[in-house]
């Protein structure tokens, strides 16, 4: 990485403040590393959920790098090119400054109490590891933003791409506050497991996202404020589970969390999308699922959405619609045989027509529109779609929307597997 620009060279007070805080965080890391460098191998290996992450010893060893300011200085140099910004983009820029500064300050506050303790604690190691996961994810995403010059081209998309890092930071901060007030060892275990699980999910989601990020030809974002509740929901699930379970390791405990399993399925879906696109490109054809602005936004957010009501389920369906329908060509769906694809419109695409009907006849538009016969047919079709997804009535309760969510994730994975199998056969 090139040498960062010292904060003294920035005229903007926002930039100076962020880089000063970055310097302070870097000093905290240096101090933390000096305390735990001889105990790297002492990270508790009971956490089998962590074993599938990445070499944590390497993360810790990287702390010894002198004056490493992550990707912040490069990002800030890019953001500071105000002459390129339209007036409406200035607000986005200011929000990014505020958000980034808040995240850096949060990690510094998390580290500081542990640094003031004479003996290095397991908590210090855990906080350092969590912060390095955040740093790794943030750095990889911002590197893509820099290389594609997305800030000057699509500043609103940049704001969306960096949202998961904020969600993760807020979650870690709140979880350590809960740990300080924990009433039992089982409660501790659930909270710690949720932290390790969120680390895994952030890194996995980031790895998939950087394979999707591109310079989109369009500029149309959904631009809704979406609640990314996965870490919170699965933490609550784990707290409930540990009270009655007899599992002894994190891996087994995680398998009992429906939200965690849904997230894992989203990961598989995006891996399949990347594979389908790669196969098409090796055949010198267009990507089957084109990285439009909305599709990139969907990839950013779908990992973290757990529908709990009609509103959040509608957001989930929007992202599926942007990915599988609009992202695949809309009126000329690239996966259909008649448009050069491999699927039959009548026998292979129930999943697609289900998404379209749920969105257009229930969630974003009114089924009670048109002639009376058309209205009756719309409601009959909607009832059939619910039954196809496993419920016999209009979804009302949280458990109804969670079931629809699980069913659609399963159908999406099967749909993509069918495409990939036909592409390579």
pLDDT of residue 89: 66
Give residue 52's pLDDT. 46
The answer to whether 319 touches 228, Cβ cutoff 8 Å, is: no
Q: What pLDDT is stored for residue 282 in this prediction?
A: 92
Q: What is the pLDDT of residue 366?
A: 62
For residue 336, which phi and psi values (nearest 5 degrees)?
-85, 145
pLDDT of residue 99: 85
- In this prediction, residue 73 carries a pLDDT of 54
pLDDT of residue 295: 95
Say which residues have a Cβ less than 8 Å from residue 358's Cβ, sequence separation at least 6: 317, 382, 385
- Identify any residues that bridge with 336 across adjacent strands, giving them in sequence order: 343
Length of the chain: 425
List the Cα angle 264/209/251 in 5-degree steps: 25
C-alpha–C-alpha distance, residues 128 and 135, integer Å: 10
Please write the tens of the pLDDT for every residue from 58-98: 555 554 443 344 445 555 555 555 434 455 667 777 788 78
Q: Give me the pLDDT at residue 415, please.
A: 98
Residue by residue, DSSP assigns 98-122 as HHHHHHHHHHHHHHHHHHTSSS--H
User: How deeply is 328 buried, as exposed, middle or buried, from its count of CB atoms within 10 A (0-12, 13-18, 19+)?
Assistant: buried
Q: How many CA atoms lie within 13 A of 23 on its CB side?
A: 11
Calculate the CA 103 to chain-centre distance. Answer: 16
Task: Say what the pLDDT of residue 110 is.
Answer: 87
Q: What's residue 54's pLDDT?
A: 45
- pLDDT beneath 70: ranges in the chain: 1-16, 19, 29, 33-89, 114-121, 222-223, 365-370, 374
Residues 415-421: contacts with CB under 8 Å, at least 24 apart: 415/324, 415/348, 415/349, 415/351, 415/352, 416/269, 416/272, 416/273, 416/276, 417/272, 418/343, 418/348, 419/272, 419/276, 419/288, 419/335, 419/341, 419/342, 419/343, 420/272, 420/275, 420/276, 420/279
């Amino acid at each position: 990485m090139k040498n960062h620009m010292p904060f003294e060279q920035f005229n903007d007070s926002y930039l100076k403040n962020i880089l000063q805080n970055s310097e302070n965080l870097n000093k905290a890391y240096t101090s933390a590393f000096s305390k735990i460098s001889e105990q790297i191998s002492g990270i508790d290996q009971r956490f089998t959920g962590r074993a599938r992450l990445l070499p944590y010893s390497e993360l810790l060893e990287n702390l010894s790098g002198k004056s490493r300011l992550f990707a912040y200085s490069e990002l800030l140099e890019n953001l500071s090119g105000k002459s390129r910004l339209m007036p409406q983009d200035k607000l986005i820029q200011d929000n990014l400054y505020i958000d980034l500064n808040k995240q850096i300050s949060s990690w510094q506050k998390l580290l500081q109490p542990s640094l003031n303790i004479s003996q290095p604690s397991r908590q210090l190691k855990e906080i350092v590891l969590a912060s390095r996961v955040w740093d790794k994810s943030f750095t990889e995403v911002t590197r893509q933003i820099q290389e594609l010059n997305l800030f000057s081209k699509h500043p609103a998309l940049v704001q969306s791409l960096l949202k998961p890092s904020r969600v993760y930071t807020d979650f870690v901060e709140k979880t350590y506050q809960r740990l300080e007030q924990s009433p039992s060892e089982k409660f501790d275990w659930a909270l710690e497991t949720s932290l390790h699980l969120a680390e895994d999910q952030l890194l996995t989601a980031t790895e998939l996202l950087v394979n999707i990020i591109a310079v989109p030809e369009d500029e149309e974002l959904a631009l809704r404020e979406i609640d990314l509740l996965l870490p919170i929901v699965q933490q609550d699930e784990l707290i409930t589970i540990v009270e009655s379970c007899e599992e002894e390791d994190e891996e087994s405990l995680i398998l009992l969390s429906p939200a965690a399993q849904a997230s894992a399925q989203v990961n598989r879906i995006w891996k399949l999308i990347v594979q389908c696109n790669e196969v098409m490109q090796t055949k010198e054809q267009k990507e089957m699922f084109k990285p439009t602005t909305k599709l990139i936004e969907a990839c950013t957010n779908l990992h973290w959405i757990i529908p709990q009501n009609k509103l959040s389920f509608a957001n989930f369906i929007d992202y599926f619609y942007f990915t599988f329908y609009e992202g695949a060509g809309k009126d000329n769906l690239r996966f259909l045989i008649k448009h050069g694809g491999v699927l039959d419109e009548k026998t292979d695409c129930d999943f697609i027509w289900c998404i379209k009907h749920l969105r257009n006849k229930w969630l974003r538009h009114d089924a009670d529109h048109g002639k009376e016969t058309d209205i009756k047919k719309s409601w009959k079709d909607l009832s059939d779609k619910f039954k196809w997804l496993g419920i016999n009535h209009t979804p009302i309760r949280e458990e109804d929307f969670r079931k629809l969510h699980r069913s659609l994730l399963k159908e999406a994975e099967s749909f993509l597997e069918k495409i990939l199998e036909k592409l390579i056969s």
